[in-house]
């Protein structure tokens, strides 16, 4: 049994791919007998303010010496002042993707974060990443020793196969926080070109993180004259989200960057054909048999891809079958938690 402390920005119950990964790994580690403490850090992240820096320093000072420190990449910049101590204690970084690659931040913030991460990443005892793409990025762009890398992709849960609503309308589902990186504006523009087809788009994602951008998306749907064909439902989980998955015919995400793409994996697990962009690792799971991968920000290509999926029911069914088989081959969470424990040694 190991004692592990996971440091994350508060609150730990946020709904995002990164936090879902963290929670599932924590649950999995505890299930196999490891003692895991979750240290929630107050303040602003990833570019830390004074409160965040103080919270990180205080939490580090309280860390028992027999405990392995695992620091989520969102929190890591807050520990810049503890870099020597991190190296001495053989801290482990859990890096979903470098925070400096986040879209929707200023060049000044991105530059500051990149400087911090360039200094910190190579000093970590181990860097656990959630995709091979992110691992290669750390080696090539951040000077991380390949021997320090461990790739542990997200797991998946058993899920029922999506059946669709069967009412003649192709229901397109997109899941992601309403922030610039998710590219919902590109998806709206791509679908707006398909005025001659029967489709409805549902976007499930919180508007709270960037309210200005979210309002811009609501206005864009109205401006494109597709407001009646688009539903913004906010952040969902549990039964309401499961119902959305079941009614969907296609999953779409026009993301600018994903460190892995957990929601894409879930779409495959449920047997949904997918239309995504190749931002980061987003397209890595998608073969030509189970979906389409388009260039980032390419409205025309995404629109053409969605036209084929929406119009050609036989094509969509064939891709759904391939997606289902691809999804069943994805790893589960208990196996990934066991690998995570080994990486923390």
132 with 253, same domain? no
Please determine, for residue 36, whether its predicted confidence score (pLDDT) is greater than 90: yes
Give the pLDDT mean for 277-292. Answer: 93
30 with 176, same domain? no
Residue 259 has a pLDDT of: 86
Residue 141 lies inside a defined structural domain of this protein:
yes
Helix axes 211-223, 184-192, angle to 10 degrees: 0
Phi-psi sector, 186: left (phi>0), alpha (psi -120 to 50), beta = alpha
Instruction: With beta carbons less than 8 A apart as the criterion, state whether 159 and 340 touch.
Output: no
Residue 294 lies inside a defined structural domain of this protein:
yes
Q: Which domain holds residue 202?
A: 170-328
Rounded Cα distance, 323 and 265, in Å: 10
188 with 252, same domain? yes
Per-residue HEC secondary structure of 165-199 comes to: CCCCCEEEEEECCCCHHHCHHHHHHHHHCCCCCCE
Residue 119 lies inside a defined structural domain of this protein:
yes
67 with 189, same domain? no
16 with 146, same domain? yes
**Tens digit of pLDDT for each residue in 230-252?**
999 999 989 999 999 999 999 99
**Tens digit of pLDDT for each residue in 139-197?**
999 999 999 999 999 999 899 999 999 899 999 999 999 999 999 999 999 999 999 99
151 with 174, same domain? no
Residue 287 lies inside a defined structural domain of this protein:
yes
Give the pLDDT mean for 67-71. Answer: 97
Residue 241 lies inside a defined structural domain of this protein:
yes
Give the pLDDT mean for 288-314. Answer: 97
Please determine, for residue 261, whether its predicted confidence score (pLDDT) is greater than 80: yes
Instruction: With beta carbons less than 8 A apart as the criterion, state whether 274 and 323 touch.
Output: yes
22 with 149, same domain? yes
Total domains in the fold of the chain: 2
CA distances for 229 relative to 125, 232, 248, 329, 334, angstroms? 50, 10, 14, 34, 39
Pairing of strands 230-234, 149-151: unpaired
272 with 206, same domain? yes
In 3-state terms, what secondary structure has residue 135? helix
Q: Which residue has 């929707």 as its token pair? A: 104
Give the pLDDT mean for 102-109. Answer: 84
Rounded Cα distance, 224 and 203, in Å: 16
pTM: 0.85
99 with 174, same domain? no
DSSP assignment, residue 63? Answer: -
Band of residue 295 on the pLDDT scale cut at 50, 70, 90: very high
Instruction: Dig out the tokens for 158 from the structure.
Output: 């058993």
102 with 138, same domain? yes
121 with 209, same domain? no
Residue 161 lies inside a defined structural domain of this protein:
no
Band of residue 17 on the pLDDT scale cut at 50, 70, 90: confident
**Short-list 206, 187, 72, CA closest to 130:** 72
Task: Tell me if the bond preceding 162 is cis, omega within 30° of 0.
Answer: no
86 with 116, same domain? yes
Residue 139 lies inside a defined structural domain of this protein:
yes
Residue 301 lies inside a defined structural domain of this protein:
yes
CATH number at 114 reads 3.40.50.2000
Give the pLDDT mean for 38-49. Answer: 96
**Tens digit of pLDDT for each residue in 71-103?**
999 999 999 999 999 999 999 999 999 999 877
């Amino acid at each position: 049994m190991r004692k592990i402390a996971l440091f994350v920005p508060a609150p730990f119950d946020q709904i995002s791919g990164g936090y879902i990964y963290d929670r599932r790994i924590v649950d999995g580690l505890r299930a196999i007998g490891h003692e895991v403490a979750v240290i929630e850090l107050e303040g602003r992240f990833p570019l830390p303010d004074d409160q965040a820096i103080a919270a990180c320093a205080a939490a580090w000072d309280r860390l028992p010496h027999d405990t392995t420190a695992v620091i989520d990449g969102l929190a890591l910049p807050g520990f810049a002042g503890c870099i020597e101590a991190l190296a001495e204690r053989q801290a482990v970084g859990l890096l979903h993707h470098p925070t400096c690659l986040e879209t929707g931040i200023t060049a000044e913030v991105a530059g500051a974060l990149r400087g911090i991460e360039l200094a910190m990443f190579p000093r970590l005892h181990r860097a656990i990443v959630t995709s091979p793409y992110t691992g290669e990025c750390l080696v090539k762009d951040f000077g991380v020793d390949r021997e320090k890398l461990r790739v542990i992709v997200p797991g998946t849960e058993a899920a029922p196969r999506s059946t669709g609503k069967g009412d003649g309308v192709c229901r397109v589902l997109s899941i992601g926080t309403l922030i610039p990186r998710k590219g919902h504006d590109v998806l709206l523009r791509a679908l707006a070109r398909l005025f001659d087809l029967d489709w409805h788009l549902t976007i499930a994602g919180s508007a709270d993180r960037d309210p200005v951008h979210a309002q811009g998306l609501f206005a864009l749907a109205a401006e494109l004259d597709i407001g009646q064909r688009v539903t913004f439902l906010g952040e969902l989980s549990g039964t309401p989200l499961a119902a959305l998955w079941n009614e969907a015919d296609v999953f779409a995400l026009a993301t600018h960057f994903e460190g892995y793409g957990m929601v894409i994996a879930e779409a495959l697990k449920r047997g949904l054909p997918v239309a995504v962009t190749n931002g980061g690792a987003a397209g890595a799971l998608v073969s030509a048999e189970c979906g389409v991968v388009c260039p980032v920000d390419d409205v025309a290509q995404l629109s053409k891809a969605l036209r084929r999926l929406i119009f050609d029911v036989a094509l969509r069914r064939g891709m759904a079958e391939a997606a289902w088989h691809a999804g069943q081959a994805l790893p589960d969470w208990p196996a990934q938690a066991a690998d995570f424990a080994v990486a923390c040694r």
